[in-house]
Amino acid sequence: MSLPEVSTHQQIDELRAEEHHPTPRQYVKVAIVLFVVTAFEVAIYYIEAVGGLLVPLLLLFALIKFVLVVLWFMHLRFDSRLFRRLFVTGMAFALIVFAIVLATFFFRDPGAFTESNGSNGSSSSE
Amino acid sequence: MSTHEVAVEGAVHEEHHTSMGLDNVKMAMWAFLGSECLFFGSMISTYLLYRGRTASGPSPHEIYDIPYTSVSSFVLLMSSLTMVLALAAFQRSDDRQGRIWLLATAFLGVTFIGGQIYEFTTFYEEGLALATSPFGSSFFMLTGFHGAHVTVGILMLLSLYGMSAFGRIEGGRSAARPVEMVGLYWHFVDIVWIVIFMIVYLIPE
Amino acid sequence: MATAALTRRGMFARPRATTGWWSWVTTIDHKKIGILYGVTAFVFFLIGGVEALFIRLQLARPDGQVLDAELYNQFFTMHGITMIFMVVMPMGVALMNYFIPLMIGARDVAFPRLNAFSYWVFLFGGIFVYSSFFLGGAPDGGWFGYAPLSRTLPGHGMSYYSLGLQILGIASLAGAVNFIVTILNMRAPGMTFMRMPVFIWMSLVVSFLLLFAMPVLAVALFQLMFDRLFGGNFFNPAVGGDPLLWQHLFWVFGHPEVYILILPAMGIVSEVLPTFSRKPLFGYAAIVFAGVAIGFMGWGVWAHHMFAAGLGPVANTAFALTTMFIAVPTGIKIFNWVGTMWGGSIRLTTAFLFAVGFVAMFIIGGLSGVTHAFVPHDAQQTDTYYIVAHFHYVLFGGAIFGLFGGLYYWWPKVFGRLLGERLGKLHFWLYFIGFNLTFGPMHIVGLQGQPRRIYTYPENMGWDLWNLVMTVGAFVIAVGTLVFIVNAVLSRKRGEEAVADPWDGRTLEWTTPSPPPEYNFSDVPLVTHRDDFWHKKYARTPEGEPVRVFAGAEHADDDEHHHGIHLPSPSYFPALAALGMPFLGYGTVYKILPAMIVGAAILLLGLFGWGLEPSVEE
C-alpha cells in the first residue's frame, strides 16, 4: 500500500523499461539457470547426506527460482517500482499473516483441543 | 476469470495520458497478482496444516512420485521461457514466430495439465481422494486450483493466437501489450508451482 | 490502433440506447452504474430491515411466537449477510463509483466495462442468495458460518451461502482492482496524492483491503463448498479436520472487512464536516495516515474474534495488544473531526447532522470495542447482546449514518434536486432516537447474559422490559426509513432544483453541473491545491478571512466544447458474462452438470465478446 508520489523518476523507470527488455539470449540463459537449480533441488532430495540441511536448501533453491522468474521473465527488474510494491505487499501480507495463523496452532491451549481426533495421533508438524 | 477480461481489455484500450505514466492494464494485472498471493497463500497454509492428517488414507510420501512430478515441473518451467520468447518476437514485430512460441507455450501447458490429470487418477486409484482425509482435501484443492489457473492461461494463450492469426492484433505494441499481460499471468502461475513443488512434494514430513 | 477495422457488424450490433431499460443494462457510465448500485443496495437495505423487524417482533416478549426457531435462524443469518455484503459494501461502492472519477477529475473509471461487470455480478449474486428462501430455506448458520456447524446443517442454505458470497466476492474484487487503478492512474493533472480528498484516500485503502482480503474469504468458502457438496474434510473433526482453520481464514478476511465497511463512511464524514464548518479539514495528513495505518493494522487483529476459541495465552495476549493499538489511529481521526468543527461557522444541514451522529455513535461503538480487547472481559461477552450492541454502534451508528450523510450531501449532484431539509432532519432524529433505543439497551441485557442468535427467552430473566424497548426502537428506525423514501419521492417530483454547487463545496465534483454530463468535465481540470475548488472560489485576506473571487460554479457547460470527447461505448457483454454466475451457482448447489456448463459457456461467450469489441465505437 506504499504509494510513491507522482514524479519524474517514475517516467524514467518506464523509459528504462522500454529500452532494457532482455534479449532472447538472456532469457535462455535464465532458463538454463532455472533448469540447473531444479536439477539440484531434485538431486538433494535423494542424497541422504544432506540431512538437516535439506529444508533450508530447498527453500533457498525455490527462492532463487522464484526471484529469477519474477525479475527477468516478469520484468520487475526493469519495470516501475509501483508494480514491485503491489506484488511485494501481497507477498508480505500472505507470508506474515499465514505464518501467524500457523503459529497459533502451535501455541493454542493444550487442553482446549486435543490431537486425539482422527488417526494422525501425535503428528508434530502442526 | 477476471484476468482474462483485464488482459483482453488492454488490447482495445487506446493509449492515453495516465497520472503515473503507467499502463492501466498492467497496473491492474499486478494488483490482481498481489491478490492471488493471498489466494494461494491460504491454500498452501491449509496444506501445511493438514499434510500430516491423513486419517486412514495414504500419507504424502507414500504416494508422491517425485521423478514424475519433477518432469512436469520442468515442463511448466520451460513454458515460461517459450512465453517470454513469444513476447520478444511480438516486440520486434515478428508475429509469425510469436505465434509459434504462443502455441509452444500452450502445448507445454496442456502437457502439464495432462500430467496432472494422470497424477490425480493414479492417486485416486491408490486410495487418495478429496474425501479421504484433510490431507487429501487440501492437496487436491491446492493443486487443483493451480491446474485451473493453468487451464485459464491456456485459454488466454489460444485466444491470443487466434487474435493474432486473424489480424485482430498486429506486430509491435498492439500485439505485444496483451501478450505481455497474459505472460505476467502465466509466469505467476509458474512461480506458484515453484513454491508448490518445493512445499508439497519435496519437503519431507 | 485500427479501431475502425474492428467496428462490429452482424449479430451483435452495438447497443445505442441512451434512455430506457436497455440503456441501464448496457451502460458503462460510472455515474449510471453508481445509481444502479445505490438503488439495488437500498432495496436490499429494506429487505434486510424487514428481517430485522421480524427478529425484533419475535424477541419483543418472552417466549415469542412470531417465528419458529428455523425461520429465526434464517432471518438473523440473512439479515447479517444482507446488511454487510449487499447494503453497506455496495452502498459505499455506489458512492465511490459515482464520485471517485468526479473528485479526481477523470471522465470515467479505468475499466468501465469491468465496472459494469462488477455491478451485474453483485446483482445476480444477491438474487442468487435470496432465491434460497423460495428453494427450501435460506442460509441459517450465522453470517460467519462457523464450521463444523456450517458443513453439517441440513438443506441447501449454507451451500447458497458458500456460493453466493463467492459470487459477491468476485464483484468486490473486480471493483477493487478497478478503483485502485482509477485512483492511482486517472487523476487530473496536479492532483497529487496529498491533494486528494480524504474520501478518495479512504476509497483507496478500502480497495486495497478488498484486494487482499477477498481471496482469503474465497478460499474459506471454497473449502466449505467442498465440505458440503463434494465430501471434503477441511472442517470435519472426525477425521482430523480443524474447525479453527475456518475461524482463522474467516476472520483474516473478516477483520479487514470491518474496515472495508467503515472507512468509506469515515471518508464521507471527512468531506461533509469541513464543508458545513466552512473550514479546511483539521490535520489532513494525520487523517490520511491514520486511515492508511488502520488499513495495515487491520491485518493484525483478527484473532480477537477468536478469544473464546482457546488459542492459548500467547496468541490471546498478542492480539489483545494489537487490538488496543488499533484504537489509536481511530482516536486520531475522531480528534481531527472534532478539531474541524471547532470554531467553524457551522450549518446544521441534514448531511452535517448525520456526520456528527456518525462521530458520536462511532465513539460509543469504538469504546465498547476496546472493552473486547481485554480477553477475560471478552470471554464474558462473546455471543451475548453486548457484542450485537457493539457492532451495530459501529456499523449502523457508524457506517449507515455516514452513508446517509453522504446521500444527503451528494443527492443534489446526482439527481439535480435537493432532498427536503425538514423531512431530512425528521429522518435524522427518528434514526438517532430509534437507533439508541434499539441498540443502547443491548449493552445492558448483553451484560446480563442474554445470548445472541437464540430465538426466544423465558420470562423472569429480567430482560423483558429492555427487549420491548428495543423492538419499539426498531420500529422508530423503520418510520425514519419511510420518511427518507417519502423525502426522495417528493424531491424527485417537486424538490428544489440544485445549482452546481449547492453547499459551497471544496472538491472538484461541485464544479460540474448537477447532474453532471456524461463526460463529467468538458475540460480536464488542472489542480493546484488541496480543496482545489475552494481555492478557485476564495482568496484569503491578510487576516485569513476567505473572500469570494468569483460567483457560482467554475464554468457553465458549453455544448460546443465536448464534441471531441470520446467516451467508451455501452456494451452488452459485461451483463452477459455476469449472467453466467448464477448458472454456475445453481449448477454447483444442485450438482447439475449441464447448468454448470451453460454457466461457463455464457461467461466465456461474454468475455470473448467483451475482448473482441473495441471499447470505443467510432
- For C122-179, how does the pLDDT look when each residue is reduced to its tens digit (9 = 90+)? 999 999 999 999 998 999 999 999 999 999 999 999 999 999 999 999 999 999 999 9
Residue C133: DSSP 8-state: G
The answer, for A97 touching chain C at a CB cutoff of 8 Å, is yes
A21 in contact with B, Cβ within 8 Å: yes
C-alpha cell at C336: 481531527
Average pLDDT over chain A reads 78
Instruction: Say if residues B83 and B105 touch (Cβ distance below 8 Å).
Output: yes
Q: Which residues of B touch A94 (CB under 8 A)?
A: 37-38, 40-41
CB atoms A80 and B204 under 8 Å: no
On whether any CB of chain C is under 8 Å from the CB of B49, the answer is: yes
Using a CB–CB cutoff of 8 Å, tell me whether A99 touches chain C. no
pLDDT digits (tens, 9 = 90+) for C461-494: 999 999 999 999 999 999 999 999 999 999 999 9
Residue B85 to residues B12, B109, B112, B161: CA-CA distances in angstroms? Answer: 23, 15, 19, 14
In the structure, what pLDDT confidence band is assigned to residue B4 with cuts at 50, 70 and 90? very low
The residue with cell 486520531 is C332
User: C561 pLDDT exceeds 80?
Assistant: no
pLDDT band at A3 (very low <50, low <70, confident <90, very high): very low
Alpha-carbon dihedral angle through residues C526, C527, C531, C537, given to the nearest 10 degrees: -40
pLDDT tens digits, residue range C304-361?
A: 999 998 888 889 999 999 999 999 999 999 999 999 999 999 999 999 999 999 999 9
Q: What is the pLDDT of residue B201?
A: 94
* B28 at interface of C, judged by CB pairs closer than 8 A: yes
Q: What is the pLDDT of residue C214?
A: 97
Taking CB atoms and an 8 Å cutoff, what residues of chain C touch B11? 611
What CATH number is given to the structural domain containing B154? 1.20.120.80
pLDDT value at residue A126: 33
Nearest CA in chain C to B152: C604
Task: List C79's β-bridge partners, or say none.
Answer: none
**B133 to chain C nearest CA, in Å?**
6
List the single residue in B with minimal CA-CA distance to A17: B22
- The answer to whether the Cβ–Cβ distance between B37 and A21 falls below 8 Å is no
Give residue C2's pLDDT band: very low, low, confident or very high (50, 70, 90): very low
- Dihedral of alpha carbons B47, C210, C201, C519, sign: positive
Q: Please state the rounded mean pLDDT for residues C85-103.
A: 97
Residues in chain A: 126
Task: Give percent of chain C above pLDDT 70.
Answer: 95
Q: How far apart are CA B104 and CA B78, in angstroms?
A: 10
Residue A89 CA to residue A96 CA, distance in Å, equals 11
Backbone angles phi, psi at C451, to 5 degrees: -80, 145
Q: Which amino acid is at C517?
A: P
Residue C547 has pLDDT above 90, yes or no: no
Q: Do B187 and A74 touch (CB under 8 A)?
A: yes
**Grid coordinates representing B114?**
495432462
| Per-residue cell: C81 | 449477510
The pLDDT, as a whole number, for residue A111 is: 52
Contact (CB, 8 A) for C539 and C84? no
CB pair distance less than 8 Å for B5 and C610: yes
Chain A contact partners (≥3 CB pairs within 8 A): B, C
In A, residues 20-79, which contact C (CB 8 Å cutoff)? none
Quick check: C180 and B22 CB within 8 A?
no
Distance CA C545, CA C560 (A): 38
Looking at chain B from residue 50 to 89, which residues have their Cβ under 8 Å from any Cβ of chain C? 50, 53-56
Residue carrying C-alpha cell 544432506: A50
CA B55 to the chain's CA centroid:
31
Q: For position B14, what pLDDT does the model report?
A: 39
Instruction: Measure the CA–CA gap between C138 and C125, rounded to whole angstroms.
Output: 14
For residue C539, what pLDDT is reported? 83
Residue C4 has pLDDT above 50, yes or no: no
Give mean pLDDT, residues C440-460: 94
Q: Could you tell me the pLDDT band of residue C21, with boundaries at 50, 70 and 90?
A: confident
Query: Is the Cβ of C4 closer than 8 Å to some Cβ of chain B?
Result: no
Residue C292 sits at the chain A interface (C-beta within 8 Å): yes
Is pLDDT above 50 for A4? no
Residue B61 confidence (pLDDT): 86
The answer to whether the CB atoms of A69 and B190 lie below 8 A apart is yes
State mean pLDDT over C59-65. 94
Give the rounded distance of the alpha carbon of C158 from its chain centre.
23
Residue of C52, C240, C246 lying closest to C161 (CA atoms) = C246
Separation CA B2–CA C610 (nearest Å):
12
Q: Check: CB of residue C48 under 8 Å from CB of residue C76.
A: no
**pLDDT at B74 (0 to 100):** 95
Cell readout for C383 is 455471543
Q: Are B194 and A62 inside 8 Å of each other by CB?
A: yes
> How far is C-alpha A73 from the geometric centre of its chain's CA atoms?
15
Q: What is the structure's pLDDT at C13?
A: 67
Phi, psi of A116 (to 5 degrees): -75, -15
d(C-alpha C437, C-alpha C145), whole Å: 29
Model confidence over B31-43: pLDDT tens digits? Answer: 999 999 999 999 9
Task: Print burial letters for B184-200: b (CB count within 10 Å at least 16), e (below 16).
Answer: bbbbbbbbbbbbbbbbb
Burial class (CB in 10 A: 0-12, 13-18, 19+), A36: exposed
Q: Is C211 on the interface with B (CB under 8 A)?
A: yes
CA within 13 Å, CB half, C79: 19
Report CB contact under 8 Å: C240, A82: no
Query: What is the per-residue pLDDT for B1?
Result: 37
- Which residue in the set A24, A45, A124 is minimally distant from B85, CB to CB? A24
Q: Please write the tens of the pLDDT for every residue from B154-188.
A: 999 999 999 999 888 887 777 889 999 999 999 99
What single letter denotes the amino acid at residue C171? A
**A and B: number of Cβ contacts within 8 A:** 153
Assigned fold of C31-558: Cytochrome C Oxidase; Chain A (1.20.210)
Q: Residue C112: what residue type?
A: P
Contact predicate B145/B196, CB 8 Å: no
Q: Is the link from the previous residue into C546 a cis peptide, with omega within 30 of 0?
A: no
Residues 6+ apart with CB under 8 A from A67: none
Does C240 lie at the interface with B, CB-CB under 8 angstroms? yes
What's the mean pLDDT in C189-194?
94
Cβ–Cβ gap C212/A93 under 8 Å = yes
| A102 touching B (Cβ < 8 Å) | yes
3-state secondary structure of C540: strand
How much is the pLDDT for B173? 73
**Is C202 a residue whose pLDDT tops 50?**
yes
**Closest chain C C-alpha to B157 CA, distance in angstroms:** 13
Contact yes or no for B30 and A31 at CB 8 A: no
Residue-wise over C453-467: b if at least 16 C-beta within 10 A, else e?
eebbbeeeeebbebb
CA nearest to A43, candidates A30, A65, A31, A61: A61
Give pLDDT, residue C543.
Answer: 76
Total H helices, total E strands in chain C: 20, 2
pLDDT above 90 as % of chain C? 86
Angle of CA points C512, C481, C39, to nearest 5°: 45
Q: Å from C203 to nearest chain A CA?
A: 13
Under DSSP, the state recorded for C308 is: G
> Which pLDDT score, from 0 to 100, does residue A48 have?
83
- CA distances (Å), C529 to each of A47, B154, C342, C525, in order? 66, 48, 23, 12
Q: What is the dihedral of CA C467, C468, C474, C478, to 10 degrees?
A: 160
Q: C515 vs chain A: nearest CA distance in angstroms? A: 31
Average pLDDT over residues A77-97: 94
CA distance C585 to C576: 15
Helix (H) or strand (E) holding B33: helix B24-50
Tell me whether C185 touches chain A (CB under 8 Å): no
pLDDT of residue C550: 63
E-strand stretches of C44-174: none
Residue B99's φ and ψ, nearest 5 degrees, are -65, -35
Least CB–CB distance from A104: residue in C192, C249, C315: C315
Range with the lowest mean pLDDT among A102-106, C411-415, C591-595?
A: A102-106
pLDDT single digits (tens) C576-601: 999 999 999 999 999 999 999 999 99
User: Which residue in this structure is represented by grid cell 514424475?
Assistant: B68
Helix A54-68 with B173-196: angle, nearest 10 deg:
180
Rg (CA), chain C: 24
- Separation between Cα atoms, residue B72 and residue B119, nearest integer Å: 10
Closest alpha carbon to C570 in C102, C116, C93: C116
Q: How far apart are CA A90 and CA C212, in angstroms?
A: 7
Mean pLDDT of B50-68: 92
The radius of gyration of chain A's CA atoms, rounded to the nearest angstrom, is 21
pLDDT at residue A20, rounded to an integer: 64
Secondary structure in 3-state letters for C213-261:
HHHHHHHHHHHHHHHHHCCCCCCCHHHCCCHHHHHHHHHHHHHHHHHHH
40-99 in chain A: CB under 8 A from chain B: 41-42, 45, 54-55, 58-59, 61-62, 65-66, 69-70, 72-74, 79-80, 82-83, 86-87, 89-91, 93-95, 97-98
Contact partners of B by the rule of 3+ C-beta pairs under 8 A? Answer: A, C
**CA–CA gap between residue A68 and residue A34 (Å, rounded):** 8
Closest by CA to C101, choosing from C530, C527, C521, is C521
By residue range, what is the domain housing residue B46?
Answer: 2-202
Contact assignment for B53 to A120 by CB distance below 8 Å = yes
C205 near A CB under 8 A: yes
Over residues C376-386, mean pLDDT: 93
- SS3 category, C353: helix
Q: Tens of pLDDT along A14-23?
A: 444 455 678 8
Predicted confidence (pLDDT) at residue A102 exceeds the cutoff of 70: yes
Return the axis-axis angle of helices C573-589 and C157-185, rounded to nearest 10°.
Answer: 150
d(CA B35, CA A93): 10
Per-residue pLDDT at A115: 46
Q: Which residues of B touch C236 (CB under 8 A)?
A: 134
Of C20 and C276, the one with more pLDDT = C276
Q: Quick one: closest CA in B to A24, which residue?
A: B85
Interface test with C, best of A10, A83, A108 (most C CBs within 10 A): A108
Q: Which of these, A9, A27, A23, A25, lies nearest to A82 by C-alpha position?
A: A9
Tell me, yes or no, if B48 comes closer than 8 A to chain C by beta carbon. Answer: no
How many folded domains does chain B comprise? 1
Q: Does C96 score more than 70 pLDDT?
A: yes
pLDDT digits (tens, 9 = 90+) for B100-125: 999 999 999 999 999 999 999 999 99
Distance between CA atoms of C611 and B110, rounded to whole angstroms?
23
Phi, psi (degrees; rounded to nearest 5) at C12: -110, 85
Question: Which residues face C417 on adjacent strands?
Answer: C497
Spatial distance between the Cα atoms of C415 and C417, rounded to a whole number of angstroms: 5
Q: Is A26 on the interface with B (CB under 8 A)?
A: no
